[in-house]
Amino acid sequence: MSMPASNPGFTDRLITLLTERGLRPADLATRAGVSLETVENYLRGTMPDALSLYRIAKALDVTMEWRVAGEEVRVRKEGLH
Q: Structure pTM?
A: 0.71
Mean residue pLDDT of the chain comes to: 77
Per the model's pLDDT, the better-predicted residue between 1 and 50 turns out to be 50
- The answer as to whether 76 is a domain residue is no
**In this predicted structure, what is the pLDDT of residue 70?**
55
Examine the pLDDT at 77 and tell me if it is beyond 70.
no
CA distance 68 to 24: 20
User: Is the pLDDT score of 28 beyond 60?
Assistant: yes
What is the extent of the structural domain holding 62?
Answer: 8-68
* pLDDT for residue 34: 93
| Domain total in the chain | 1
29 compared with 50, residue with greater pLDDT: 29
Domain presence at residue 3: no
